[in-house]
Amino acid sequence: MTLIDKEPVQRVEKILKEFNTNSEVIVLKSSARTALEAAKSLNCEVGAIVKSLLFKTEQNFTLCLVSGDKKASLNKIKKILNMKDISMASADDVKNVTGFTIGGVSPIGHLKKIEILIDLSLERFDELFAAAGHPNCIFKISFEDLSKITNGSIRELVE
């Protein structure tokens, strides 16, 4: 079985193909578990890597898509969501809610419906790269298409 045959990667690929038949999952020879590793593997700027960060709110979860060279601001996210109690989701929560393990969390193809916030700083790149369900699988997408495919709300999320 190749990485492309794994169920989480298949889930991502199905949504990508439905969105744009030319989209594809790219399997890397080296890991893209972190933004820095992904940028080295792809020979691109760290900022062009989309970090998918799952936050646990008082009753739910929110996925924040943030540039690889930025840090998510809990205070800004709290204000946007109008909530006092927000924290990073545990590895178990990430797996149960998204269906992906940390390092391979994709902006699309989640097991449960999640609110998605997209940081405005990603807009500065013509091409973005996001995880596709496994630490060695990614897909390339424009900021505009990322916004469309995720139905995410574009906000200022970083410090």
What is the structure's pLDDT at 30? 84
- Rounded distance, CA 143 to CA 39, Å? 17
Q: Which regions in the chain score pLDDT beneath 50?
A: none
Please tell me the predicted confidence (pLDDT) of residue 59. Answer: 85
| Residue whose structure tokens are 């807009």 | 123
Q: What is the pLDDT of residues 132-148, one digit of tens each?
A: 999 999 999 999 999 99
Amino acid 44: pLDDT: 94
Output the DSSP codes for 40-82: HHHTS-GGGEEEEEEEE-SSSEEEEEEETTS-B-HHHHHHHHT
pTM of the model: 0.96
Residue 152: predicted pLDDT: 97
Structural domains of the chain, ranges and CATH numbers in brackets = 3-155 (3.90.960.10)
Q: What confidence score (pLDDT) does residue 29 get?
A: 87
What pLDDT does 155 receive?
97
